[in-house]
Structure 1
Amino acid sequence: MPLNAREPKFDRPFEEIFRELRERIPRYNPQWTNFNDSDPGITLLQLFAWLAEMNLHRMGEVPRKTYLKFAQLLGLELHAPRPATVRLVFTPKPSERPRTIPAGARYAARAESGNVVFETTQALDLIGAALAGMFVLADGTIRRAELPTLPEVAPFWPLGRNPVAGDALYLAFKPNPNNQQPFPLRMRFLALRPAADTDGAAQRAGAPERALVPPVDLVWEYAPNPAQDNWERLIVFHDDTVALTRDGYIDVAGPREIEPGVLPAIAAQLPAPHYWLRLRIDQNNYPQGRAPYLDLFLPNAVDAVNLTTEGRTELGESSGRAEQTFLLPRRPVDAGSLRIEVTLASGALEADWLLVEDFFASKKDDKHFMLNAAAGSISFGDGALGLIPAAGARIAAAVWRHGGGAAGNAVMAGAVKTMVDQIAGIEKVANPRAATGGADEQDLDDFIRKAPGQLRSERGAVTANDFELHASAIGGVRKARALGGRHPDYPDVEVPGAVTVFIVADTTRMPPRPSAELIRSVCRVLDKKRLITTEVYVAAPLFLEVRVEVRLLVAPEAAFDQVALAAIERIDLLLNPARRGFGEDLSPAALYAALLRPDDPDQTVRSVENLVIYLDGQQQDVRRPIKVRPDALVYPGKHLIVARPDPDEWGTQ
Structure 2
Amino acid sequence: MSLVPPILDDRHFDDLTAEALKRIRLACPDWTDFNPADPGITLVELFAWFTELMLFRMNKVPDKLHGELLSLVGIMPEPAKAARAMIEFTPLDNCPSSITGGTSSISIDVGADRPLKFQTTRDLAMVRRPMVAIIRKLPGEAEEDLTKLNEMPDRGFDPFGTIGASNSELILRIKAASPDMQAADVFPDVLTLHVSQMKRGRTGDFSMPEGNSLALRPQTPPLSWSARIDGDVWEPLEVIDDATKGFECDGFIRIAGPRRAVPIANAAPSGAPGQAKRALTYVFELRCLVGGAGFAFASAPRFLHVALNAVDAIALTTETEDLLGTSTGLEGQVFSLRNRPVDPDSVKLATGPANNEHLWSKVDDFFDSLSTDTHFTVDGATGEVRFGDNSHGQVPGAGVRVVAKSYQAGGGIGGNVGAKQIKIGSQGASGTNPFPAIDGSNAEQTERLRQRAASRLRSRDRAVTCADFEELALRKGQMGRARAIAQLHPDFPELSGKMPGVITVFVVGKSRLGGDLPPWPSDAEIGNVKEILDRRRMVGAELFVRAAMIVPVKVTMLARASAGYAGDEVRGAIRRSLNDWLNSSDRGFATQLYAADLWSCAAQTTIGGVRVIDQVLSLRADVNGRILEMAPPVLRGPRTFTFVSTESVTPEKNTSNFIAIADQAILWGRPDHIIQLEGATPS
- Return the TM-score normalized by structure 2: 0.56
Q: What is the aligned-residue identity percentage?
A: 27
Q: Which residue of 2 aligns with 1:104?
A: 102
Task: State the one-letter code of the partner of 2:138.
Answer: A
For the 8 Å contact 1:465–1:482, the answer to whether it is kept is: no
For the 8 Å contact 2:177–2:282, the answer to whether it is kept is: no
1:185 aligns with 2:189: yes
Q: Which residue of 2 aligns with 1:316?
A: 325
Aligned equivalent of 2:535, options 528, 535, 549: 528
Alignment partner of 2:161: what SS? coil
Structure 1's unaligned 5+ residue stretches are 1-7, 16-55, 199-211, 475-479, 487-495, 504-516, 538-581, 584-617, 623-653
1:293 aligns with 2:310: no
2 CA distance for matches of 1:240 and 1:78? 30
Q: Which residue of 2 aligns with 1:160?
A: 161
Q: Which residue of 2 aligns with 1:350?
A: 358
Question: Cα offset for 1:394?
Answer: 0.6
Alignment partner of 1:174: what SS? strand
Q: Which residue of 1 aligns with 2:228?
A: 223
Q: Which residue of 2 aligns with 1:373?
A: 380
1:328-367 counterparts in 2 under 5 A? 328-343=337-352, 348-351=356-359, 353-367=360-374
Relative to structure 1, is the Cα distance of residues 63 and 157 closer, same or farther in structure 2, using a 3 angstrom cutoff? closer
Q: Which residue of 1 aligns with 2:71?
A: 72
Q: Which residue of 2 aligns with 1:448?
A: 450
Relative to structure 1, is the Cα distance of residues 458 and 245 closer, same or farther in structure 2, using a 3 angstrom cutoff? closer
Question: Cα offset for 1:403?
Answer: 1.2
Alignment partner of 2:431: what SS? strand
Question: Cα offset for 1:523?
Answer: 8.8
Q: Which residue of 1 aligns with 2:418?
A: 412
2 CA distance for matches of 1:176 and 1:86? 31
Q: Which residue of 1 aligns with 2:262?
A: 259
1 CA distance for matches of 2:325 and 2:347? 16
For the 8 Å contact 1:127–1:187, the answer to whether it is kept is: yes
Question: Cα offset for 1:451?
Answer: 2.5
Question: Cα offset for 1:179?
Answer: 7.7
Alignment partner of 1:311: what SS? strand
Alignment partner of 2:85: what SS? strand
Deviations 1:67-114 (A, max 9, x none): 333332322222233222221111111x22334112222225736335
Question: Cα offset for 1:357?
Answer: 3.1
2 CA distance for matches of 1:139 and 1:454? 53
Tell me the matched-pair count: 448
For the 8 Å contact 2:8–2:59, the answer to whether it is kept is: no
Question: Cα offset for 1:264?
Answer: 7.0
1 CA distance for matches of 2:475 and 2:10? 33
For the 8 Å contact 2:139–2:167, the answer to whether it is kept is: no
1:392 aligns with 2:399: yes
For the 8 Å contact 1:315–1:395, the answer to whether it is kept is: yes
Question: Cα offset for 1:329?
Answer: 0.9
For the 8 Å contact 2:153–2:305, the answer to whether it is kept is: no
Task: State the one-letter code of the partner of 1:68.
Answer: G
Alignment partner of 2:264: what SS? coil
Q: Which residue of 1 aligns with 2:121?
A: 121
Question: Cα offset for 1:466?
Answer: 9.9
Whichever of the two has the greater Rg, that structure is 2
Task: State the one-letter code of the partner of 1:358.
Answer: D
Alignment partner of 2:136: what SS? strand
Task: State the one-letter code of the partner of 1:172.
Answer: R
Relative to structure 1, is the Cα distance of residues 536 and 105 closer, same or farther in structure 2, using a 3 angstrom cutoff? farther
Of the structure 1 ranges 311-320 and 172-181, higher mean CA displacement relative to structure 2 is found in 172-181
Q: Which residue of 1 aligns with 2:146?
A: 145
1:279 aligns with 2:288: yes
RMSD in angstroms over aligned alpha carbons?
A: 4.6
Q: Which residue of 1 aligns with 2:570?
A: none
Task: State the one-letter code of the partner of 1:402.
Answer: A
2 CA distance for matches of 1:471 and 1:435? 28
For the 8 Å contact 2:470–2:482, the answer to whether it is kept is: no
Task: State the one-letter code of the partner of 1:110.
Answer: I
1:1-80 counterparts in 2 under 5 A? 60=59, 63-80=62-79
Relative to structure 1, is the Cα distance of residues 518 and 163 closer, same or farther in structure 2, using a 3 angstrom cutoff? closer
Relative to structure 1, is the Cα distance of residues 299 and 78 closer, same or farther in structure 2, using a 3 angstrom cutoff? same
Deviations 1:457-480 (A, max 9, x none): 465156989988999899xxxxx9
Q: Which residue of 1 aligns with 2:133?
A: 133
Q: Which residue of 2 aligns with 1:172?
A: 173
Question: Cα offset for 1:146?
Answer: 2.5
For the 8 Å contact 2:224–2:290, the answer to whether it is kept is: yes
Question: Cα offset for 1:429?
Answer: 1.6
Task: State the one-letter code of the partner of 1:325.
Answer: V
Structure 2's unaligned 5+ residue stretches are 12-54, 203-216, 272-277, 485-503, 512-523, 548-584, 587-605, 611-683
Question: Cα offset for 1:230?
Answer: 2.7
